[in-house]
Amino acid sequence: MYCIPAIDLRGGGAVRLRQGDFAQETAYGDALFWAKSYAAGGAAMIHLVDLDAARRGEAVNGALVEAIVRAVDAPVEVAGGVRSAARAEELIGIGAARVVLGTAAVRDPDLVRRLASAHPGKIAIGLDHRRAANGRRELALSGWEEHSGHELAEVVAAFADVELGAVIATDIGRDGTLGGPDLEGYELLLAATPHPVVASGGVGTAADLRALSAVTVNGRTLSGAIVGTALLSGALTLEEAFAACAP
């Protein structure tokens, strides 16, 4: 299982939100600095999210995204506000290793299918969801501000025959909290999809990463774990994270 450092962009800088709430934002300064630091530290991939674009559907931090993708040697997957073929093609054209579609996966699944067919392995779906009291995991759209009415397993099943690079699932209620990941949810996802599954949300310690790496369903394990706040805040070092993810 790979450890994938995350950098979220808002207003031209690196930030983290708590539970997807834009009113609970912590700023972490120069996003390019963090990207270079993670790449120099040996990151197998960097997860880059344009939060402004996710909210508005426009490439608000587009110039910064391009600068980061071009400046680092590590592969970069880009998420946030990718809702057209033109934007996805643009990101692939500047060197993004993988492009993540979230809102579009619900509202325009045919777009995901077309892009995945044209770029096998370079398209991922980002399934950001909140868990209700009854256990239902409902997807959130447009920068986590809209309810979709669609359940996580329902949407992922619709892409079983599409050549996706990954299914990235973020538990919004845990994101940015350092409170631990949703292990049960990732077991369900591994059982529901043939695609590589990447965990996101809640990682706060090396023990959390070891727990994720131990999740196994029918011989399959998670392919990656995205770590954001824990690294930016210093709760976890890059070396500790990599060691915890190693087999």
**pLDDT band, residue 240 (cuts 50/70/90):** very high
CATH 3.40.50.970 describes domain 2-245: no
- Contact in structure between 3 and 241 (CB atoms under 8 Å): yes
Has residue 77 got a pLDDT over 70?
A: yes
Instruction: Enter the tokens of residue 152.
Output: 């996580």
Has residue 132 got a pLDDT over 70?
A: no
The strand pairing partners of 79, in sequence order, are 49, 100
Alpha-carbon distance of 158 to 156, in angstroms, equals 5
Higher pLDDT, residue 26 or 131: 26
Least confident of 76-90, 122-136, 187-201: 122-136
pLDDT at 130 (0 to 100): 78
Higher pLDDT, residue 173 or 104: 104
Instruction: Enter the tokens of residue 86.
Output: 């033109």
Q: Tens digits of per-residue pLDDT, 1-13?
A: 999 999 999 999 9
Q: What is the mean pLDDT of residues 71-93?
A: 96
Q: Tens digits of per-residue pLDDT, 140-193?
A: 765 555 555 667 788 888 899 999 999 999 888 777 778 899 999 899 899 999
Has residue 22 got a pLDDT over 90?
A: no
Strands 216-217 and 220-221: antiparallel
**pLDDT band, residue 57 (cuts 50/70/90):** confident
Could you tell me the residue ranges of all domains in the chain? Answer: 2-245
97 CB-near residues (< 8 Å, 6+ apart):
45, 75, 76, 77, 122
**pLDDT band, residue 237 (cuts 50/70/90):** very high
pLDDT at 58 (0 to 100): 80
**pLDDT band, residue 17 (cuts 50/70/90):** confident
The strand pairing partners of 73, in sequence order, are none
Task: Kindly state the percentage of the chain with pLDDT values over 90.
Answer: 69
Q: What is the mean pLDDT of residues 72-95?
A: 96
Has residue 46 got a pLDDT over 70?
A: yes
- In degrees and rounded to multiples of 5, residue 28 shows phi and psi of -125, 20
pLDDT at 151 (0 to 100): 74
**pLDDT band, residue 103 (cuts 50/70/90):** confident
Strands (E), the chain: 2-10, 13-18, 21-27, 46-50, 76-79, 98-101, 123-131, 137-141, 146-151, 166-171, 197-200, 216-217, 220-221, 224-227
User: Which residues are designated catalytic?
Assistant: 8, 128
